A and B are shown apart, each in its own frame.
Chain A
């Protein structure tokens, strides 16, 4: 006697903790095997690109904070850098160092959130507490630097808004030391855990060919053997002055992504340490002499930077007025989840959360 089975539609989200925002996934399952997955996005769409056309170049900075709100420093940076390149503005040395330090701190904070929430998705509660304990020390630093915990708007076209308050750089040095020690706990707590390994090793494998074809970037790409990081391959700001490694793994599974991100935290700490040593010798202005009314020449440019999720790019078209003619934001999370239907097909429903969590998305960025 054969058992009668039929396909079932399972609706994941839009309101569900493991979607990390408002994201809906319509999954068709046969037994426990996923036949089809259809992502539905747009719940957080605010029309950022449309809003930009009605704002001046400086006024748009706070809007970039709200794209990938876990990594707002890099968003700030890409926008300012795009306008600076178009106008040919030279950013003062000290500002570059402050930018690097804040961007790398933010990358670490972003990876901490991923680490904590990803393990929460898998059912482990305590790692989340460790991650947020450490992230808090970074957010405290940001509060002292610019007054905000997440939506910084710290950078300006031509430099940064505030110089480091007195004693701040020493505090960063202390935090870097502290975090270097604390990261070891992460490995002791999770990395070797057998349940964790079973749920991530060999799960959600993305091949190198798929990565390139689907335009995936960031840690997701590097976990599949794409040895590419914009900070090294197309250096912006002053990244060419630091010595750091780009972690690459070839397995392409969720565990490889986990390893890449943990190693990236260590490398970011290395960059910050070097930047702290160098900034001591650099004094001077923190913002270039830029006129109050910012009016780039007519033209267009595409610039990109390595965000914590991948390639963050901006295609800016200027018509020579005080407002941008067209801004296209290339959000890494948006591109990275395109592959989901192909990736989830034929997988076990129990692995869905681990696979989706492994990609690390922020819905503010997906929907823009």
Chain B
């Protein structure tokens, strides 16, 4: 009898916490949705109505896709300095090679406002190039050099865009999808 009682009590507790979690999630979702709207609004006001190619919540975090032509210094400065955005930490920059274009993906975080942003900047495959954001976040320095080294993406305005992981004489950019491994040259064959 007492065991049964305990079980039902436990069950009640579980449902209660589940409800709490759901409510929390709803509040959280609302907050990120508002942030996404805010972001879209401010980016459009800075870079033009059609600057944003896509915007959505990706795993409950804002994700925005823009073209390299819209990714300008003023926009980067705004992401960092705008009162309501304050993205002071640039966690990560990654280059991704798709068949028809390349992307530079920025992971932003705001220590003060606890907000996230995944910003994807599209550029062409023939001569991929985006602006360097080292002047706004010094941490971009090596991330950009790495993306240049492994994917051949040019970061306009970077003070020292040289290879960082591979040796200086290396030919090609290994993370490009059409890169052919020189097995003979590497002594693998």
Contacts and interface: CB of A to CB of B under 8 A. Distances in A.
Contacts of A368: 165
Contacts of A325: 96
Contact of A213 (B94, B107, B138): B138
A47 B174 contact: yes
B165 A326 contact: no
Given A41-B165, A301-B59, A302-B118, A315 B94 contact: yes
Interface stretch (B32-40, B83-91, B123-131): B83-91
B139 to A, nearest CB: 3
A42 B167 contact: yes
A338 interface: yes
B105 interface: yes
A214 B89 CA distance: 8
B137 interface: yes
B91 A317 contact: no
Contacts, number: 79
Interface string B137-152: 1110111000000100
Interface string A315-343: 10100000001101010001100110010
B89 A302 contact: no
B21 to A, nearest CB: 11
Contacts of B142: 334-335, 338
B139 A215 contact: yes
Contact of B97 (A41, A85, A326, A342): A326
Given A41-B165, A228-B111, A302-B118, A317 B96 contact: yes
Interface string A224-249: 00101000010000000000000000
Contacts of B105: 300, 302, 315, 328
Given A315-B107, A338-B142, A42 B166 contact: yes
A300 to B, nearest CB: 7
A326 B94 contact: yes
A36 interface: no
A264 interface: no
A49 B96 contact: no
B139 A328 contact: no
A338 B137 CA distance: 12
Nearest to A85: B59
A330 B91 contact: yes
Given A50-B175, A302-B92, A326-B96, A213 B165 contact: no
Interface string B56-92: 0011000000000000000000000000000011111
A362 to B, nearest CB: 15
B164 interface: yes
Nearest to B107: A302
A212 interface: yes
A226 B137 CA distance: 17
A304 B108 CA distance: 12
Q: Give the interface residue-count category, chain A.
A: 35 or more
Contacts of A47: 174
Interface in A225-283: 226, 228, 233
A357 interface: no
B88 to A, nearest CB: 5
B114 interface: yes
B152 to A, nearest CB: 14
A299 B95 CA distance: 15
A212 B141 CA distance: 14
A367 B97 CA distance: 21
Contact of B137 (A42, A213, A315): A213
Contact of A330 (B92, B165, B174, B175): B92
B59 A49 contact: no
A171 B137 CA distance: 46
B137 A215 contact: yes
Contacts of A49: 150, 175
Contacts of B118: 302
22 contacts: A41-B165, A42-B165, A45-B166, A49-B150, A50-B150, A85-B59, A213-B137, A214-B138, A215-B137, A299-B58, A302-B105, A302-B118, A313-B107, A315-B105, A325-B96, A326-B94, A328-B92, A328-B96, A330-B91, A330-B107, A335-B142, A342-B138
Given A42-B164, A342-B138, 20 more contacts: A42-B163, A45-B165, A50-B150, A50-B175, A212-B111, A213-B137, A213-B139, A228-B111, A233-B114, A300-B58, A301-B59, A313-B92, A313-B107, A317-B96, A326-B94, A326-B175, A328-B92, A328-B96, A330-B92, A338-B142
